[in-house]
Structure 1
Amino acid sequence: MNIKNFTYCNSKKCRILLLAFFLLCVGFWFSLPKQLFNDPSSTILYSSEQKLLGARIADDGQWRFPESKSVPLKFEKSLLAFEDQYFYSHPGVNPVSIGRAFMQNMKAGKVVSGGSTISMQLIRISQKGKSRTVLRKIQEMILATRLEIRYAKKEILALYASHAPFGGNVVGLEAAAWRFFGRTPDELSWAEAATLAVLPNAPSLIYPGKNSERLLKKRNNLLDKLYRIGEIDSTTCELAKLEDVPREIHRLPRIAPHLLDQVHKRKKGERVTSSLQFDLQNRVNEIVKRHQKNIEANQIYNMAVLVVDTKTREALAYVGNTEKNGDVNHGNQVDIIRSLRSTGSVLKPFLYASMLNEGELLPNTLVPDIPTQIAGYSPKNFDLRYNGAVPAQKALARSLNVPAVRMLRDYGVERFHFFLQKMGMKSLNRPASHYGLSLILGGAEGSLWDICGMYASMAGILNHYNWNDASYYSNEFQTIRYTNDSIEWKNPDSQAFLKASSVYQTFEALLEVNRPDGESGWKSFSSSQKIAWKTGTSFGFRDAWSIGVNTNYVVGVWVGNADGEGRPGLTGVGAAAPVMFDVFDVLPASEWFEQPIDEMEMVPICRNSGHRASRWCDQVDTLWIGKTGLASNVCPYHKQVHLDATGQYRVNSECEKVGNMIHRSWFVLPPAIEWYYKKRNPLYRPLPPYRDDCTGVDENQAMELIYPKSNDRIFIPIELNGTRGKVVFELAHHNPDANVYWHLNGEFMGTTCGNHQQELDPGEGKHVITFVDDEGNSLVKQFEVVGKQQHQIND
């Protein structure tokens, strides 16, 4: 062979060798999977302080926390001393350890040592326990070397700590620390860290509660080694040996289980840091447990509490339901905070605020509180009594149903429906006509989550106005969040859907709600917090609500049965409010809201009617109202009356000289309102009658039919024995001494005096009823009887 051919041949071989080497390098580079582990992880929920609130087991039945980026120092030192003392100096394979293991195995005639580094062990763990052969060992060595190229040493340690088996269904250091010691890896002692360091070496053999003596011996040997290599001193070593090894499995914390369920649905297998405050959550849990014992005496089994920060709109405490007692399931797994329940009266403040906002109401404007029937719907107050007329803010504070329904009728169901949707009530997914006037009394369902968010938005409007130079944010109506992500408030503006003045006046009205027995003397204590709060009780005593708000917090409480079973005596003020006040007691005290003076004005207000004072109002107070209230009506109830010299009779120019008349301002209510109002207000003075010699008297509205109203449809009640009942008709007359003559369809039915009530039994169909008094004044009304009485929502 000549030199030329030899050179060519050698060049060809060289290229083949180079190609083979290149292919080996490519194979080596791509030998390691892009992702070592694809195992499902547990869902982990932390508090805002990074304390564990709860965890859900992974889909494969393993307790495996999501990967951690770091390893606690004690565990790292213990692990390296036990498994791989030269971890930071070798490239993934330790030839000395491999050689030593080979000689030991040859001498013993069996495998007694593997010589694997932590990198090699990590590769083996990722391959899910494949058979341990010489070929597999070589493959682990190659992959471990590749692993060292891709990851830093600290990252390899973190991967190992996150995926090492610790026995049973416990995988990873974090899960092991909680299951075996009930604490975080960072809180482990040297003895505990050493125990966990030796477990992955033989997790199926050495397991807490089994083989405890072997585990103790192995741990103590490691502690001795840590002492010998200078990681711990002799005192620490001896004290660590005195600690016992774990002998039972700890349950993971269940501090916010229902929020954990929500997190698991949305972020399964992730590590989620919530906005909950650890200590507050625990204290609220204790409050719920304490009150749970009381409500169970009345066969009420469920309760939910939500605490919201008004500034960040973050949930600070989340108790979705009571804990299960015994083996009886009372729906404790249901997250009541997100469930839709009848709202009772908790929406009344929003109607009050919206009417203030539109200038259709002032805080003390009298609102009728008389028997009312609107298109067959007849609301009743909770105490089944009527006041004639009540200042709007007192009607709100006392949660009177009849004034609320009449206010909603005047405001408009459609407008209020839109208002609630804009405030964030997502459950209103049907047209306004579906709910009708019952919307204000619990005819719609809402969640504690949304309603607390709505109250928080109101507080936010007022806070931001006062803190932001009398301007608002365009994204004020924010939903509550359970992660501690801050809100980016946008576009400061001087306009708002709901003005700060309306919110302030609403909260001022809610300060006067009657507190539970234990809080009745709250005004006597200078340290007591001011809390604007509202209760609600749904029809049939199924839902009891209490929502409270101050500058910093909203606390919402719901009490009832998850299955909807009502219980006698279940009311918002009796069952939910005490819980709410106990929660406020564990919250930091808050200052009261600042008055938004720039949006308010001092205006003369009629003391008796609450309207802007007219020229005839004789008692006037100058009060702060929102500037939108300047467009409200002046007082319609005061008028000038002319009396004779005795002041006992009204007169006119037909019976008395003008010069002899006494001219006075008089507060006069319509007859139906007056009928009830004077019973509850002894200082009310009805109009004096005209003197007998006066002629040409024009008595407008001398009488008014209270029930039924003109053109009303009446449902006749059916008695328990199945017979048709009767209807009580009621009339109001300005003159309490007047005789009134009743006629039904032209037939005389009788005479009444003083108390103008009669029990009648008209048949089905249309009817005409006529009333005539001694003075010849008459009143004619039409009504229709259509059938038996139907039930109504009662609050």
Structure 2
Amino acid sequence: MSEAAAIVTRARKRRRWRIAAIGAGGTLALLLASALAWVVSLGPLPLDEAKQVSTTVVDRNGRLLRAYAMDDGRWRLPVRNSEVDPAYVNVLLAFEDKRFHAHHGVDPVALGRAAWQFASHGRIVSGGSTITMQVARLLEPRRERSMAAKLKQIVRAIQLERALSKDEILDLYLVLAPFGGNLEGVRAATIAYFGKEPKRLSLAEAALLVALPQSPEMRRLDRYPEAARKARDRVLERMVETGRASHDDVEHAKAETVPRLRRPMPILAPHATDQAVARPGRGSHISLTLDSNLQRTLEALARDRATALGPDISIGIIVADNASGDILARIGSPDYFNERRAGQVDMTRAVRSPGSTLKPFIYGLAIEDGFVHPESLIDDRPIRYGSYAPENFDMTFQGTVTVRKALQLSLNVPAIALLDRVGPHRLTARIREAGGDLILPKDETPGLAMGLGGVGITLTDLVRLYTGFPRLGTTVRLRERADEAQGDTAQRRLMDATAAWHIGHVLMGTPPPENGVHNRIAFKTGTSYGYRDAWSVGFDGRYTIGVWVGRPDGAPVPGLLGRTAAAPILFDAFARTGKIPLGLSSPPRGTLIAATARLPLPLKRFRPVGELVRNGDDRAPKIQFPLNGSRLDVQAEGEGKALPLAVKVAGGIPPMTVLVNGLTAGELDSRRQRLIDPPGPGFVRLTVMDATGAADTVVVRLQ
């Protein structure tokens, strides 16, 4: 070949190479562009899926009270690797991804080994997927195994490694890994299979949890326990081969049986958790002030006592911390799923008649007003207030007793006499000021009957009011959500500190039930009309506990008494707090502590409304009309103004002043009479005071 021909040949070869190179470059560019377009088409990482978790409600220490399944029925509980037993994490990484902390989402060594095993065995021996790649697959579940799906998994794994830390990726795996059925995540699995949190696991449990996600449906413990056991044992054998566990430890772990039944998710404090979840704006993780240990203990107590009391009986219990107002336990019913007991009705928030449990507030206001002292004498004898004649529960009368004994024995007549002096309206206003909501019958105004339970109140409000005694006269708002402000910055006044201290120490001496110890807990019982509600509320220096017993439908339960039904539960509840009762505070400065004989003359004996107060003068005023306790019709016929009310008095030294409900209404005329404008329908207190300070008072009802 001539030199010219050789040159032409070489030129043609170079041209062909250039064309080939350009073609190859173009093809490569096209492939790269296509690959880039494909990667871009995948869109951002689908991390929103991982944010969808079951709503969980935890107690004050972070322990699970209750979890709620997701809308599609899956149980996926939030968890972090710091909350999981390190032994499980070590087994997981050793078995699934030894170089987890070294690679960047894809482990070439593992992929190469998987490819070689597939080529040599003709089947998949190991997948070569890293933990990150498995997370990518869990975020975007694939319908079939293909090369395209594997490539997508690899790309997503690299993206995950660039976007998240290793701990965050591991957290995702712990939340998303499937464990059979509707269980996802290691926390849901340990609770359902082992009945505990994943914080502490045995070697056998850790190996089982590593094996289950590899084939979650074919190794479900509630269906295929034997397959699960064999898979667990293979994980344990691998631990021996890699030197991560001793032969003896593995043999001991293999001897452990695998669970064959799935446990139900815990449901503690169902009423409290339901109400917390129902609140608007709540997140997926809710923290309450409850103590799960105390809650569990008192739920068992309520179940046991309800079983003993009868199939229709329900029980409500509240435990409150006096200092902070935190609710530490709340039992709305003894059995949430018992239809006969109406278990889903929360009896801690139901409005019921309080029986005699309002008496301590009557006595407290009477002490605050200076009418009585705990050692004052008071009469327990038959008396009428118009058509109302209060009687004691046992239909007997004690005669003259001290105020202390009258409250400890829950005598009705002295309590009504004091309420008549304090005033039902004032008692109602003070209770509402302290945070208690009293519910009166429709179209009714506060009257004397409220002293014996003629109003409605919830157990929650009653417990709040009783915290005012150990707190020396102030109450705090009870809180159940841990994210609410601690306590109440604007504390509510119940009564003065001295009166609250006196009442606390009087109630400390109340005779306890058979299972109680004297002088350890201050408490009061109550039984509503017709044996419909039995109450007992008590306190020490640390806690206030309230107990209600009865039928949710309000039907009477003959023989149901606060002392025999509710008080024993109260004392058991205090015992099950695990704390020795804490004594009450010291008396406030200036508190009068004296026996009856050493009391000042006005405090030695209580004088009820209507009894003359004389200053050594037999001419003290006496209201002749209207009579004490009478009912008067002051409404004129038609739509005219109400008729004036005439007040007539005998005796007394002029000038004499008429007071209506404590407010001056003018002086009597020369005939010792006066017409006054009635204040409106309801009970009215009329007092006449003469020039020497002697007075007489009556209470009438206008209609």
TM-score (norm 2): 0.75
Residues 1:213 and 2:201 aligned together: no
Query: Unaligned regions of 5+ residues in structure 1, if any?
Result: 1-12, 463-474, 524-528, 622-628, 642-697, 715-780, 787-795
What percentage of residue pairs aligned between the two structures are identical?
Answer: 32
Find the counterpart in structure 1 of residue 477 from structure 2: 478
Give the Cα–Cα distance (whole angstroms) in 2 for the partners of residues 434 and 136 of structure 1.
76
Query: Matches of residues 121-270 of structure 1 in structure 2 within 5 Å?
Result: 121-266=134-279, 270=284
Q: What is the deviation of 1:578?
A: 1.0
| 2:582 maps to 1:594 | no
Match of 2:422 among 411, 436, 450: 411
Note the C-alpha offset of 1:557.
1.1
Indicate conservation of the 8 Å contact 1:174/1:184, yes or no: yes
Q: Does the C-alpha gap of structure 1 residues 329 and 434 become closer, same or farther in structure 2, counting only changes over 3 Å? A: same
CA contact (8 A) 2:79 2:187 kept: no
> Alpha carbons of 1:354 and 1:230: their partners in 2 closer, same or farther (altered >3 Å)?
farther
Structure 2 distance, partners of 1:152, 1:24, is: 26
Give the aligned residue type for 1:201: Q
Alpha-carbon distance in structure 2 between the residues aligned to 1:639 and 1:230: 101
1:612 is matched with which residue: 597, 600, 604? Answer: 600
Distance 1:530 1:258, change over 3 A: same
Q: Which amino acid in the other structure matches residue 426 of structure 2?
A: R
CA distance in 1, matches of 2:300, 2:407: 32
> Pick from 351, 354, 375: which aligns with 1:343?
354
SS of match in other structure, 1:478: coil
Partners in 1 of 2:623 and 2:441 — Cα distance? 41
CA contact under 8 A between 1:40 and 1:59: conserved in structure 2?
no
Which one of the candidate residues 89, 94, 97 is aligned to 1:76? 89
**Corresponding position: 1:313 with 2:303:** no
Question: Could you say what secondary structure the match of 1:446 adopts?
Answer: coil
CA distance in 2, matches of 1:368, 1:506: 19
The change in CA–CA distance for 1:144 and 1:79 in structure 2 (over 3 A counts) is same
Aligned to 1:439: 450
1:117-142 CA-partner distances (Å, limit 9, x unpaired): 21121122122444443323222211
- Name the SS for the 1:184 alignment partner: coil
Pick the aligned partner of 1:560 from 540, 550, 566: 550
Query: How far, CA to CA, are the matches of 1:168 and 1:212 in structure 2?
Result: 14
Match for residue 672 of structure 2? Answer: none
1:513 aligns to 2:503 (yes or no): no
Structure 1 residues 712 and 290, CA gap change in structure 2 (3 angstroms)? same
Q: Against the structure 1 CA distance between its residues 94 and 602, is the aligned structure 2 distance closer, same or farther, given a 3 Å change threshold?
A: closer
Contact 1:43 1:270 in 2 (8 A): yes
**Which residue does the alignment assign to 1:292?**
306
Q: CA deviation at 1:113?
A: 4.6
Assess if the C-alpha contact under 8 Å between 2:515 and 2:571 holds in 1. Answer: no
- For residues 462-500 of structure 1, the C-alpha deviation after alignment (integer angstroms, 9 at most, x for no partner) is 6xxxxxxxxxxxx852324364978367599xx966322
Aligned with 1:575 (options 565, 574, 578): 565
Structure 2 equivalent of residue 303 of structure 1: 315
The range that moved more, 330-339 or 126-135, is: 126-135
- For residue 62 of structure 1, what is the aligned residue in structure 2? 74
Matched to 1:419, the amino acid is R
Inter-partner Cα distance in structure 1 for 2:258 and 2:346: 38
Report the equivalent of 1:119: 132
Cα drift, residue 54 of structure 1:
3.6
Cα 1:94–1:555 change in 2 (3 A) is: same
Could you report, residue by residue, the CA deviation over 1:39-94 in whole angstroms, capped at 9, with x for unpaired residues? Answer: 34143434x44444443333322222124353431221222222222211111112
Aligned pairs for 1:308-707 (under 5 A) are: 308-323=320-335, 329-367=340-378, 369-374=380-385, 376-387=387-398, 390-426=401-437, 428=439, 433-461=444-472, 476-481=475-480, 483=482, 487=486, 498-519=495-516, 522-523=517-518, 529-586=519-576, 587-601=578-592, 607=597, 612-613=600-601
Structure 1 residue 172: deviation in Å? Answer: 0.8
Q: In 2, Cα distance between the equivalents of 1:163 and 1:488?
A: 39
Partners of 1:81 and 1:222 within 8 A in 2: no
Residues 129 and 499 of structure 1, relative CA distance in 2, 3 Å threshold: farther
**Equivalent-residue separation in structure 1 for 2:480 and 2:549 (angstroms):** 23
| Distance in 2 separating the partners of 1:701 and 1:338 | 49
Of the structure 1 ranges 445-454 and 173-182, higher mean CA displacement relative to structure 2 is found in 445-454
Please report how far the alpha carbon of residue 703 of structure 1 lies from its aligned counterpart in structure 2 after TM superposition. Answer: 14
Pair 482,388 (structure 1): closer, same or farther in 2 beyond 3 Å: farther
Root-mean-square deviation (CA, aligned residues, Å) is 4.2
Query: d(CA) in 2 for partners of 1:195 and 1:517?
Result: 51
Task: Kindly state the Cα deviation for residue 305 of structure 1 after the two structures are TM-superposed.
Answer: 2.0
Counterpart residue identity of residue 153, structure 2: E
- CA shift for structure 1 position 30: 6.1
User: Which runs of 5 or more residues in structure 2 are unaligned?
Assistant: 1-25, 634-697
Q: Deviations for 1:231-283, whole angstroms, at most 9, x for unmatched residues?
A: 22222112111112221112333443333333333487734444444443344
Indicate conservation of the 8 Å contact 1:55/1:260, yes or no.
no
What is the rounded CA distance, in whole Å, between the counterparts of 2:111 and 2:629 in structure 1? 102
Distance 1:444 1:504, change over 3 A: same
- By how many angstroms is 1:407 displaced? 2.6
Q: 1:30 to 1:454 in 2, by over 3 A?
A: farther
Deviation at 1:175, TM superposition (A): 0.9
Take 1:446 and 1:129, find their aligned partners in 2: how far apart are those partners?
Answer: 58
Equivalent position amino acid for 1:559 in 2 = V
* Partner Cα separation in structure 2 for residue 702 and residue 353 of structure 1: 29
Alpha-carbon distance between aligned partners in 1 of 2:479 and 2:410, rounded to the nearest angstrom: 26
Instruction: Flag the 1:422–1:130 CA change in 2: closer, same or farther, 3 A.
Output: farther
Q: Distance in 1 between matches of 2:142 and 2:534?
A: 56
**Partners in 2 of 1:212 and 1:86 — Cα distance?**
31
CA-to-aligned-CA distance 1:359-401 (integer Å, 9 cap, x gap): 3433344555454554654443322334565543333222233
Does structure 2 conserve the Cα–Cα contact (< 8 Å) formed by 1:555 and 1:580? yes
User: Against the structure 1 CA distance between its residues 269 and 173, is the aligned structure 2 distance closer, same or farther, given a 3 Å change threshold?
Assistant: farther
- Residue 549 of structure 2: SS of its match in structure 1? strand
Q: Give aligned pairs, total.
A: 604
- TM-score normalized by structure 1? 0.67
